[in-house]
Structure 1
Amino acid sequence: MSVTAQSVWNNCLEFIKDNIQPQAYKTWFEPIVAVKLTDKALSIQVPSKFFYEWLEEHYVKILKVSLTKELGESAKLVYIIKMENTYGNKQPFTEKIPSSNRSALKSQDVDVPLNNKNPELRNPFVIPGIRNVKIESQLNPNYSFENFLEGDSNRLARSAGLAVAAKPGGTSFNPLLIFGGVGLGKTHLAHAIGVDIKDKYPEKTVLYISAEKFTQQYIEAVKKNNRNDFIHFYQIIDVLIIDDVQFLSGKTGTQDVFFHIFNHLHQNGKQVILTSDKAPVDMQDIEQRLLSRFKWGLSAELQNPDFETRVSILKNKLYRDGVEMPDEIIEYVAKNIKTNVRELEGAIISLIAQSSFNKKEITIDLARIIVEKFVKNTKREVSIDYIQKVVSDYFQMDIDTLQSKTRKRHIVQARQLAMFFAKKFTKASLASIGSQIGKRDHATVLHACKTVDNLSSTDKQFRKYVEDITKKLSV
């Protein structure tokens, strides 16, 4: 049988699989693709430089052993690293790297001296008139990696956060963009990275700020004719953490100033960490040049936690609060509240409070009452299929007609409404919504959402459509 890159890699994987944890295998080895075999050199493609660095840091020994078993002592491993939109270069980056040799990658780092360390710069975080050049990090020390529990839903983002904390500005994931729905831990993870960096590198200036507060400060700086001071202040930060960056949407002046601050920090090897409720591709009204920079590093998604992770989160919360609770009650809560971590912890707090205030024992019946109230009060996420059914029924047409290519006005409007509500009521990406509603692209969905917003404010009848369908979907 002829030896191919795939057959060699499959044998390596069998060996690796037997010697590491299943979750680690799934996260770090399943995404790898065997590309070619030349002499004793096996080329494998990894999704990013982040993967390459992680493999070299944690799995170099097992890779070497498995490859030597297959190809002998002179075996070599060639990494092909797909780099998206990095400095405008869309070509895959290929590097022949002997084990533990990273100098070839490090040579890409940019080392530009920082010339703006002016101690007289105004600090937006101190009361005007009080002289204070010390920059407080604005970090919450209660948000740490220790209480950010790892699971399938967050493993990539958490691992990336740890790597950034170990070498801020020195990894390929700069910026690190953490995105996901409400209550999944984006802010917690952003703070945890900052707290860990402050612990490891006390001399570094770390700053956490929400995009909303950043915008307010910029508006204030423009009013007081301090725009340059504002820019210079942010240029002296070593690690800048901006929460809810989607808030910059539509704010062209703030986006412009952030673009220049970002460029300066990035070129000087400073770390930028961003959080958002959506991936860069789904962000609306953000300048393309800024979006392209968001893609320079790593975009890591936080998803809804699976059952095992939900149980671990609850047990950890109870342990920290010094409360004991039977496993069957913990599992009941975890099984019935699936949406996000915030609601999960909220339910367990409610359960403890009810038990304490009413001097009742925590039983499965009490848990059932609390969970039912919680689930009832929680906004239900509906499916895209259900939204299409509700919209098509409302306009008395079938779903095939709704999804068709016709340009008849009433059908186009119904389709646009379905897209609008799919974006509003689900966590699906624009591309996913488009593909499910008549195989459209994400630009069509974006246009549909803007059209619905415009018509809602100018057309009374159309506004009634939106109100009626909203009621139907909110029941």
Structure 2
Amino acid sequence: MPELQNITAQSVWDRCLAYIKDNIQDQAYKTWFEPTQAVRLDDNALYIQVPSKFFYEWLEEHYVKLLKSALTRELGPGAKLLYNIKMENTGGDKIPYTEQIPSKNREAVQPQEVEAPFENRDPELKNPFVIPGIRNIHIDSQLNSNYNFENFVEGDSNRLARSAGKSVANRPGETSFNPFLVYGGVGLGKTHLAHAIGVEVKEKHPDKTVLYISAEVFSQQYQDAIRRKARIDFIHFYQLIDVLIIDDIQMLSGKTGTQEVFFHIFNYLHQNRKQVVLTSDKAPVDMQDIEARLLSRLKWGLTAEIQHPELETRINIIKNILYRDGVSMSEEVIQYIAENVTSNVRELEGSVISLMAQASFNHLEVNIDLAKTVVDKFVKNVKQELSVDLIQKTVADYFKIDLDVLKSKSRKREIAQARQLAMYFAKQYTKNSLASIGAQIGNRDHATVLHACKTVNNLIETDKEFKKYAEDIKIKLSM
């Protein structure tokens, strides 16, 4: 630390600004720090001039820790920062406001009323940008407390994602799982897990600011901010968040402007050890029309897949639903539902609710016969999401070969082509990654799946008989 008698107010402030500039985004520095000027230095108290009281409030609310760190580096632990505020419409008169870092007497200055960065266009969504005064900022987290870890049933299909999610919730921003990206098909529990992380953070770290928002709403709000010429306000609002949870991040595909602003927000949050949690219907490697630099950021932390629940997990999910609703059901009925509703958690819950409704409305006993009737109708009436398992079974049935044979290492031409068709349609009709498809079809790697897709495309163009196979299977999968 330099000797105080050999330094000036401006030299101290210049070094502070250099430090600050290295720790925030360029646009934020230009907006909030370039307009400031050093006024004088008295002992270890530095006076700076800011353009308005709003500037003073903003700096103290958003950058007080950074300012304290910068001043301490230059003037030692007893450093003080004091503001000369240039009041508007007063002919340039300066009225000093004194504020010690960190702030301890905020009541001395009346809060400024500021407009939220933009309006929320979704009438069903509470406005998360509630800023009643610059001193006291309240942000509605948008979390659903019904989605928590207690009712998120763990199984082989989601164990990694759930365990990592718990770690993130326990130490947000402090683990190597930042960002934490969860991906998988529809109705498998991605949104549930995302909310559970937020709910747990709020319980264990009540001082943390948490916000859950969908990528679609994020994009809409950014467009509103652009129309209102409030881009900087938009960015600064999101820099307030300690744990940012964005659902369906793939919805940013093709939205260059939104991707760019999210890129800068992400960088700021990550650099400041704030947590980012994302969900997607596909792995980063399979996302289309996402900028390469943003994709690289998504790969920095942990990417965890949630797969379709296996039989044991489906049974436990049903039991969890029954326990939640205070309903009992025989093991035989539970087993039957679990074996016949295999697509996703959402449809599994729907089938249980339908069964209970039929029994209640018609005064019937919940037995295996009623379960067969209801589940049969339910499965037929619900357009089933194609899964890798269903596609494999359809292809195996078409070629009249055993499913285990299709997954085997056999290189017989008819077996190999059936396996390649299964991989091809799994890539076409599911949101599974190439690695996930390969793992489910005989434990192959992603390169094998990619080769299979290229081979099928070539054969469709050159082999009429093979083209007929592909067309027939496509029709079956569409039924």
TM-score normalised by length of structure 1: 0.61
Secondary structure of 2:241's match?
coil
CA–CA separation in structure 2 for the residues paired with 1:175 and 1:185? 18
CA–CA separation in structure 2 for the residues paired with 1:306 and 1:113? 49
What letter matches 2:334 in structure 1?
A: I
Distance apart, 1:267 and its partner CA: 0.1
1:383 to 344, 366, 391: 391
Distance apart, 1:293 and its partner CA: 1.0
CA–CA separation in structure 2 for the residues paired with 1:130 and 1:208? 15
Contact 1:280-1:295 at 8 Å conserved across structures: yes
Distance apart, 1:235 and its partner CA: 0.8
Secondary structure of 1:173's match?
coil
Q: 1:248 to 1:113 in 2, by over 3 A?
A: farther
Q: 1:387 to 1:241 in 2, by over 3 A?
A: same
CA–CA separation in structure 1 for the residues paired with 2:247 and 2:128? 24
Distance apart, 1:228 and its partner CA: 1.1
Partner of 1:189: 193
Q: 1:128 to 1:215 in 2, by over 3 A?
A: closer
Partner of 1:229: 233
2:284 to 280, 284, 287: 280
1:255 to 255, 259, 272: 259
Distance apart, 1:284 and its partner CA: 1.4
Distance apart, 1:303 and its partner CA: 1.4
1:271 to 271, 275, 278: 275
Distance apart, 1:336 and its partner CA: 1.4
Q: Please list every run of 5 or more consecutive structure 2 residues that lacks an aligned counterpart in the other structure.
A: 1-62, 68-102, 104-111, 121-125, 400-411, 457-469
Q: 1:424 to 1:194 in 2, by over 3 A?
A: same
Secondary structure of 1:372's match?
helix
Q: 1:289 to 1:341 in 2, by over 3 A?
A: same
CA–CA separation in structure 2 for the residues paired with 1:119 and 1:400? 74
* Residue 122 (structure 1) aligned with residue 112 (structure 2): no
CA–CA separation in structure 2 for the residues paired with 1:295 and 1:129? 29
What letter matches 1:164 in structure 2?
A: V
What letter matches 2:379 in structure 1?
A: V
Partner of 2:373: 369
Partner of 2:54: none
After superposition, residues 34-433 of structure 1 pair within 5 angstroms as 120=114, 122=117, 124=119, 132=132, 133-376=137-380, 377-379=382-384, 380-381=386-387, 382-383=390-391, 421-430=425-434
Distance apart, 1:127 and its partner CA: 6.1
Please identify the structure whose Cα radius of gyration is greater. 2
Q: 1:446 to 1:247 in 2, by over 3 A?
A: farther
Secondary structure of 2:349's match?
helix
Q: Structure 1 residues 424-433 or 313-322, which shifts more?
A: 424-433
CA–CA separation in structure 1 for the residues paired with 2:158 and 2:455? 31
Distance apart, 1:374 and its partner CA: 2.2
Q: Please list every run of 5 or more consecutive structure 1 residues that lacks an aligned counterpart in the other structure.
A: 1-110, 392-398, 405-415, 450-465
Contact 1:384-1:433 at 8 Å conserved across structures: no
Distance apart, 1:182 and its partner CA: 1.0
Taking every aligned residue pair, what percent have the same amino acid on both sides? 61
Secondary structure of 1:163's match?
helix
Partner of 1:55: none
CA–CA separation in structure 2 for the residues paired with 1:347 and 1:311? 13
TM-score normalised by length of structure 2: 0.61
Contact 1:387-1:422 at 8 Å conserved across structures: no
Two-structure CA RMSD over aligned residues (Å): 4.1
Q: 1:427 to 1:386 in 2, by over 3 A?
A: farther
1:267-293: CA deviation from partner (whole Å, max 9, x where unpaired): 000000001111111111111111111
Distance apart, 1:343 and its partner CA: 1.0
After superposition, residues 437-456 of structure 1 pair within 5 angstroms as none
Distance apart, 1:469 and its partner CA: 7.4
Q: 1:447 to 1:231 in 2, by over 3 A?
A: farther
CA–CA separation in structure 1 for the residues paired with 2:131 and 2:447? 57
CA–CA separation in structure 2 for the residues paired with 1:223 and 1:443? 43
CA–CA separation in structure 2 for the residues paired with 1:253 and 1:417? 38
Partner of 1:76: none
What letter matches 1:426 in structure 2?
A: T
CA–CA separation in structure 2 for the residues paired with 1:206 and 1:128? 10
Distance apart, 1:431 and its partner CA: 5.4
CA–CA separation in structure 2 for the residues paired with 1:265 and 1:119? 26
Q: 1:212 to 1:469 in 2, by over 3 A?
A: farther
Contact 1:431-1:441 at 8 Å conserved across structures: no
Q: 1:247 to 1:448 in 2, by over 3 A?
A: farther
1:114-154: CA deviation from partner (whole Å, max 9, x where unpaired): 68x99846265576998634110000010011000111111
Distance apart, 1:192 and its partner CA: 0.5
Q: 1:472 to 1:310 in 2, by over 3 A?
A: closer
Contact 1:178-1:274 at 8 Å conserved across structures: yes
CA–CA separation in structure 2 for the residues paired with 1:467 and 1:113? 64
Q: 1:390 to 1:129 in 2, by over 3 A?
A: closer
What letter matches 2:355 in structure 1?
A: L
Secondary structure of 2:199's match?
helix
Contact 1:390-1:473 at 8 Å conserved across structures: no
Q: 1:195 to 1:359 in 2, by over 3 A?
A: same
Secondary structure of 1:367's match?
helix
Distance apart, 1:383 and its partner CA: 2.2
Q: 1:328 to 1:388 in 2, by over 3 A?
A: closer
Contact 2:222-2:258 at 8 Å conserved across structures: yes
What letter matches 1:268 in structure 2?
A: N
Distance apart, 1:226 and its partner CA: 1.1
Secondary structure of 1:301's match?
strand
What letter matches 2:210 in structure 1?
A: V
Secondary structure of 2:218's match?
helix
What letter matches 1:208 in structure 2?
A: Y
Partner of 1:407: none
CA–CA separation in structure 2 for the residues paired with 1:230 and 1:384? 47
